[in-house]
Amino acid sequence: MDEDRIKHSFAVARKMKQIAIELGLNDEEINDCFVIGFIHDIGYEFATNKTEHNKIGGEILKRNNFKYWKEIYYHGETEIEYESLYLDILNQADMQIDKYGNDVGYDKRLEDIKSRYGETSIVYEKCAQLIKNRDLQL
């Protein structure tokens, strides 16, 4: 993973921790949120098709018996049947942290994604849907 991806992942971990604290989760759950955020993009290290990084990362973590592999596998996806508080927190955190690790909020994050992938891209459409649904999840 490149330096920017590492900064992004570390910032997502911190944002997840912040959200978990605000939700009143216990110390173990808060720590789990940090770890999930930190490794959520691990699949970028192994993916040739970057849009599949979540699936690749999730599969690797599943093979290694990581408890929250499904959160990694399904993050960024909109048409899924799997639900978890940790996945909701991950998606919210990920949609507020830009590619450089800055906490920019939802609007600026979506603008950044649009500028990099295009408004008609599947990446942009999924992110826009996640942001639209954010208040329904937590």
* CATH number of the domain where residue 10 is located: 1.10.3210
pLDDT for the residue numbered 136? 45
**Number of structural domains the chain divides into:** 1
Instruction: Return the pLDDT at 134.
Output: 75
The counts of H helices and E strands in the chain are: 8, 0
The token pair at 27 is 């110390």
Q: What is the dihedral of CA 79, 85, 88, 92, to 10 degrees?
A: 180
Q: What is the pLDDT of residue 135?
A: 60
Q: DSSP assignment, residue 99? A: T
- pTM exceeds 0.85: yes
**What pLDDT is stored for residue 49 in this prediction?**
87
| CB-CB contact of 28 with 68 (8 Å) | no
pLDDT tens for the chain, 138 residues long, are: 899 999 999 999 999 999 999 999 999 999 999 999 999 999 999 999 889 999 999 999 999 999 999 999 999 999 999 999 999 999 999 999 999 999 999 999 999 999 999 999 999 999 999 999 876 455
Q: How high is the pLDDT of residue 50?
A: 86
d(CA 116, CA 39): 23
What residue numbers bound the domain in which 62 lies?
Answer: 3-137
